[in-house]
Structure 1
Amino acid sequence: MLWSERYSRLQMECRQRLDPVARRHDGFFLDRLKSKESVFSKVESGQFARPFDEITDLYGATIAVPTMADVESVSVEVLEDFAEISRRTARGNEPREFIYDDLHLVLEVRDSGLLADKTVLALPFELQIKSMLQFAWTKVTHDTIYKGDEISWASDRFAAEAKASLELLDNLFTNVPTTSALHSEKENEDYTNKKTILDLAKERWPRESLPTDLRRTAFTIDEYRHLAAWSLEETLDAVRAPTADALTSAESLTPVQAFLAILCGKLTPAERIAFFEKVRAKGRVVHVTDEMEALAPVLKEVPADLRVEFGLGADR
């Protein structure tokens, strides 16, 4: 069997195993078979006496993940299905050295009773696991500068400078909670209030009931309380009150829906009218369901033009 056919089969096997790993870590997977031209270019370099035994990237794959913090967890999962032959990372500890490199693994498929195609065994391949910034650097500079048809000191210098800058940026993204603390003294009142509301949502609703985009929830609740001219303290007291328990524990209501019901229940009739007018003036609409009205009948007062309409065309 030709080497190209064996490696094509290896590619199919690796795609089935590695693409799901990348997706589970919010990343993506790419691969390629080395072209004949590239293989013979390596052979001509004189580094390989037995190229098909010694060249480890005849098939190569890449997994790119959000930050460097994700690289190690991906490698651990990968090694459940693949045997590690070697690993290389050029990241150094010298303070004046900026080697912003990804993790290179040389792997082989592990044999198991579930492996149908045994021809893919004992075929080494290279897997690079990198952050998305590392991947972007590779596409923007490495492929054009290091593998191009020109030799330029200035271009190589630029690529090295870009690497150093991206290493710093990647470290910032990897350690957002720590690095953002540098700006703790610059927090403004608006963001502090929104964070307090976000923490309130975590306090009053079970984690499984909270939406993924909890930031948007906090922003929406904060806007509602501003439109109702409520202080932050009034908002906290109203949501924490025992009278709100039925709404905050209702599984059919989102935190925003529950807060709207709590808010309207606390407002006087005149205040509700003023609140609805401000909602209208902001160009907003509210999502009121039958369950909300059953738990908080006061929501029946929400004007029709302020309600979300899910019908389409003639269905409305």
Structure 2
Amino acid sequence: MQNSLRPSIPKTWHYEGRVKKPESYALKVETGRVDPRDLDDFFACTVVVPTLDSCDTAEALIARLFDVVGRKPETALVALSQPFDFQFDHIRLYARLRVPSGLDPAPVHRLRFEVQVKTFLQHAWSIATHDLTYKTNDVSWGKERVAAQVKASLEAAEVSIVEAERLATSGNKLLARQDSATASLVGVVGSLQRHFTAAQLPEDTKRLALTIKTTLEACSLEPGYLEKLLNLGKAKRMGSHPADLSPFGVVLLYLVDLQPAKLKAALRRAKGPKILISREVALPASFLSYDLPSARHI
């Protein structure tokens, strides 16, 4: 089972698996709730995904690899607990190995195993409270209460993470606010998106925008100047940005062309932010390398 599942999950997910110990078998059978000849978790594993949004993707992956014969809860719309209860209620899928095409079923194909799907926050809660409340020699109302309170807090955090974008754009007065730094950064991102395609921009556009914002401010230029800088530089080059430079390289090139004195002052500032100078961007001869402590050449 794990040889099929573990290599198939994305690198940003997590996997754990275990074979049930004889002692655990005995304890489960003694409850009278299970048939000792038909245990469904002789082997069990856990697939841990980043957020609740990834659970459907995980279930689809498991369904592609195995024959899923059961689910708890039955659907994503069914809750196993009361609204005031915060117990173990993660997704559990019960599956069998799929019989290869052209072969007859073997005894191993009749065995069911369990796959739990959890988020990282849910998994952290399980690890932190497992020995505290699940398998313990000490029965304590207080410990159960603390575990439930932590679960409630994490569930609220989980919902907030999944709904963060919708909440941020909902018009809520508390979340609709902006400070000046955020507003200027939003402006930088907007300029970058207007002048460069998605393929030209990195996945982490925010980090690029922060770097450009810091560079402009080191040159004693407002971040809002970026739009004008890009328009002027583009106009000097027949209406298109250099295709052989990164967006940051383009900005740096235009600073060399249009604001050389301000860029030079920034590079000469010993305690200023470091500015990357790639070999594709040629500095003027008046920029003496030994006198540019803030320059980082590559």
Q: TM-score normalised to the size of structure 1?
A: 0.80
Q: 1:66 aligns with which of 47, 50, 61?
A: 50
Instruction: Note the C-alpha offset of 1:240.
Output: 3.3
* Structure-2 residue corresponding to 1:314: none
| Structure 2, unpaired ranges of 5+ | none
Q: 1:261 aligns with which of 253, 265, 270?
A: 253
Instruction: Report if the CA contact (8 A) 2:42-2:113 is conserved.
Output: yes
**2:116 match: secondary structure:** strand
- After superposition, residues 107-122 of structure 1 pair within 5 angstroms as 107-113=95-101, 120-122=108-110
* Structure-1 residue corresponding to 2:281: 292
Question: Aligned pair in 2 of structure 1 residues 120, 211: CA closer, same or farther (>3 Å)?
Answer: farther
Instruction: Note the C-alpha offset of 1:207.
Output: 1.5
Equivalent residue pairs, number? 288
* Matched letter for residue 180 of structure 1: A
Instruction: Report if the CA contact (8 A) 2:268-2:294 is conserved.
Output: no
| Residue deviations 1:167-221 (CA, integer Å, cap 9, x gap) | 1011011112123344433310111111221232222222222223222111000
Instruction: Report if the CA contact (8 A) 1:247-1:262 is conserved.
Output: no
Instruction: Note the C-alpha offset of 1:94.
Output: 5.9
**2:114 match: secondary structure:** strand
| Structure 1, unpaired ranges of 5+ | 1-13, 311-316
- After superposition, residues 1-316 of structure 1 pair within 5 angstroms as 14-23=1-10, 26-48=12-34, 50-53=35-38, 55-89=39-73, 91=79, 95-98=83-86, 101-113=89-101, 120-181=108-169, 182=172, 183-241=174-232, 242-243=234-235, 249-268=241-260, 270-278=261-269, 280-289=270-279, 291-293=280-282, 298=284, 301=287, 303=289, 305-308=293-296
Instruction: Report if the CA contact (8 A) 1:276-1:302 is conserved.
Output: no
Instruction: Note the C-alpha offset of 1:151.
Output: 0.4
Instruction: Note the C-alpha offset of 1:66.
Output: 0.9
Distance 1:214 1:114 in 2: 51
Instruction: Note the C-alpha offset of 1:245.
Output: 6.1
Instruction: Note the C-alpha offset of 1:15.
Output: 2.0
Instruction: Note the C-alpha offset of 1:231.
Output: 2.4
CA RMSD of aligned residues (A): 2.9
**1:208 match: secondary structure:** coil
Instruction: Note the C-alpha offset of 1:67.
Output: 0.8
**1:308 match: secondary structure:** strand
**2:40 match: secondary structure:** coil
Instruction: Report if the CA contact (8 A) 1:21-1:78 is conserved.
Output: no
Question: Aligned pair in 2 of structure 1 residues 285, 235: CA closer, same or farther (>3 Å)?
Answer: closer
Question: Aligned pair in 2 of structure 1 residues 123, 275: CA closer, same or farther (>3 Å)?
Answer: same
Instruction: Report if the CA contact (8 A) 1:228-1:271 is conserved.
Output: yes
Distance 2:208 2:56 in 1: 33
Identity %: 22
**2:136 match: secondary structure:** coil
Distance 1:191 1:58 in 2: 53
Distance 1:164 1:127 in 2: 23
Instruction: Note the C-alpha offset of 1:119.
Output: 5.6
Distance 2:285 2:40 in 1: 67
Instruction: Note the C-alpha offset of 1:121.
Output: 1.7
| Residue deviations 1:252-278 (CA, integer Å, cap 9, x gap) | 42222221111221114x333322223
| Residue deviations 1:40-92 (CA, integer Å, cap 9, x gap) | 121222333x4131x11110010111111111121012211211111013636
